[in-house]
């Protein structure tokens, strides 16, 4: 009569396997760095958001018969004002540092829903008056500042400034990942052609102070 023998792992073999898995998990975390991957994803969203707004405002400027770059209760003075995604002025970065213009000192917070297209939103451009309707349904917010603009950390905000004499504008946001931020392997801040190497800039006037 034959006996079947069932073989299993010994305790030492199990400990070796567990040790190998632990090493592999550590190496994976070091290589992939999930925190930086999330930061890169947010940066990609920021770049996409600001360029989407740039395209929308540029389309408005090219199609409106009498375009305006700042209007309504958000203030009409492009020379001294700048706008952003905060619901209050608390913590807003100085416009002079953002836009290279010492006269730009007044931050205009949104007057109603921050993402409203048209009057009340963080960009005071009447996109909703375009003949075919606004090309975007809502103004974007920084992915780290999604609670209707109430975050007071100026590193998680989008900003806008304009020039009525030149009919130009600039949009600004700050990147966070070691890949895309200033000095990173794919630096998007100091290589965008703008005046501020610590921020990502886009618009129709980024090579000169606005």
pLDDT digits (tens, 9 = 90+) for 76-129: 688 889 998 887 777 788 888 899 888 888 888 887 668 889 878 889 999 999
**Helical ranges in the chain per DSSP H:** 11-32, 34-63, 95-99
pLDDT (average), residues 24-42: 77
Whether 23 is in a domain gets the answer no
CB 56 within 8 A of CB 140: no
Q: For the chain, what is the mean pLDDT?
A: 84
Identify whether 143 is part of a domain: yes
Residue 157 counted as domain residue: yes
**Assigned domain for 4 exists:** no
Least confident of 46-60, 61-75, 90-104, 132-146: 61-75
Sign of the dihedral defined by the CA atoms of residues 98, 203, 75, 159, in that order:
negative
**CA of 173: how far to CAs of 42, 73, 154, 183, 189, in Å?**
11, 24, 9, 16, 9
Tokens of 3: 């006996």
Instruction: Judge whether 58 lies within some domain.
Output: yes
Residue 62's domain comprises 35-203
Q: How confident is the model at residue 148 (pLDDT cuts 50, 70, 90)?
A: very low
**pLDDT at position 147, please?**
46
Return the percentage of the chain with pLDDT > 90, whole number.
44
| pTM score of the predicted model | 0.82
Whether 208 is covered by a domain: the verdict is no
Please count the structural domains in the chain: 1
Cβ count within 10 A of residue 11: 7
pLDDT: which is higher, 192 or 2: 192
């Amino acid at each position: 009569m034959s006996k079947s023998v069932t073989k299993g792992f010994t305790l030492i073999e199990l400990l070796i396997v567990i040790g190998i898995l632990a090493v592999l998990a550590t190496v994976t975390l070091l290589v992939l760095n999930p925190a930086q991957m999330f930061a890169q994803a947010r940066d990609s969203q920021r770049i996409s958001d600001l360029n989407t707004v740039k395209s929308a405002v540029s389309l408005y400027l090219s199609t409106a018969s009498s375009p305006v770059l700042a209007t309504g209760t958000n203030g009409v003075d492009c020379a001294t004002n700048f706008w952003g995604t905060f619901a209050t002025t608390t913590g807003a970065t100085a416009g002079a540092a953002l836009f290279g213009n010492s006269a730009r000192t007044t931050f205009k917070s949104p007057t109603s829903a921050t993402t409203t297209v048209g009057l009340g939103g963080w960009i005071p451009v009447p996109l909703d008056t375009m003949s075919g309707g606004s090309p975007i349904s809502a103004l974007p917010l920084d992915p780290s500042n999604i609670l209707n603009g109430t975050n007071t950390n100026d590193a998680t905000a989008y900003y806008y400034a304009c020039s009525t004499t030149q009919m130009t504008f600039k949009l600004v946001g700050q990147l966070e990942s070691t890949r895309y931020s200033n000095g990173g392997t794919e630096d998007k801040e100091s290589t965008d052609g703008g005046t501020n190497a610590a921020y990502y800039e886009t618009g129709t006037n980024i090579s000169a102070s606005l």
